[in-house]
Amino acid sequence: GAVVSQHPSWVICKSGTSVKIECRSLDFQATTMFWYRQFPKQSLMLMATSNEGSKATYEQGVEKDKFLINHASLTLSTLTVTSAHPEDSSFYICSAGLLAGAGYEQYFGPGTRLTVT
């Protein structure tokens, strides 16, 4: 149980184009999803918290107009990287929160590798 999928798993796009990444909780409903980015050999940095039916909450330093987040249903959140540039190339990972017996746990998707040329 508690499976999260991401699509696509990798994408290559040209500078200036926009890319949409989907995050789905497959077997549970998640009112809250999280978006992270990870540069090579570095840790995960939280970009934003996505709440179903409301606006996302962005971390300091993350441009909300560049990284558009939509959480239209309890099982789907999307991240759109607008006007992508090479410096946006990174590994993007989403997670979905689930209240379990021991506490609130996050279950992570497999990640999406974005390369902007």
Partner 1 sequence: SQQGEEDPQALSIQEGENATMNCSYKTSINNLQWYRQNSGRGLVHLILIRSNEREKHSGRLRVTLDTSKKSSSLLITASRAADTASYFCATDVAGNKLTFGGGTRVLVKP
Interacting residues with partner 1 (CB under 8 A): 4, 6, 32, 34, 41-46, 49, 91, 93, 95, 97, 100, 102-111, 113
Based on CB atoms, which residue is closest to partner 1, 28 or 82?
28
| Residue 104 beta carbon to partner 1: minimum distance, rounded to whole angstroms | 5
| Residue 111 beta carbon to partner 1: minimum distance, rounded to whole angstroms | 5
Based on CB atoms, which residue is closest to partner 1, 16 or 110?
110
| Residue 56 beta carbon to partner 1: minimum distance, rounded to whole angstroms | 13
Based on CB atoms, which residue is closest to partner 1, 74 or 82?
74
Contacts of 92 (CB under 8 A, 6+ apart): 6, 21, 35, 36, 37, 38, 79, 81, 111, 112, 113, 114
Based on CB atoms, which residue is closest to partner 1, 84 or 109?
109
Contact 109, 94 (CB under 8 A): yes
Beta-ladder partners of 116: 13
State the Cα–Cα distance between residues 7 and 5, nearest whole angstrom. Answer: 7
Environment class of 51 (CB within 10 Å of its CB; exposed 0-12, middle 13-18, buried 19+): middle
| Residue 81 beta carbon to partner 1: minimum distance, rounded to whole angstroms | 18
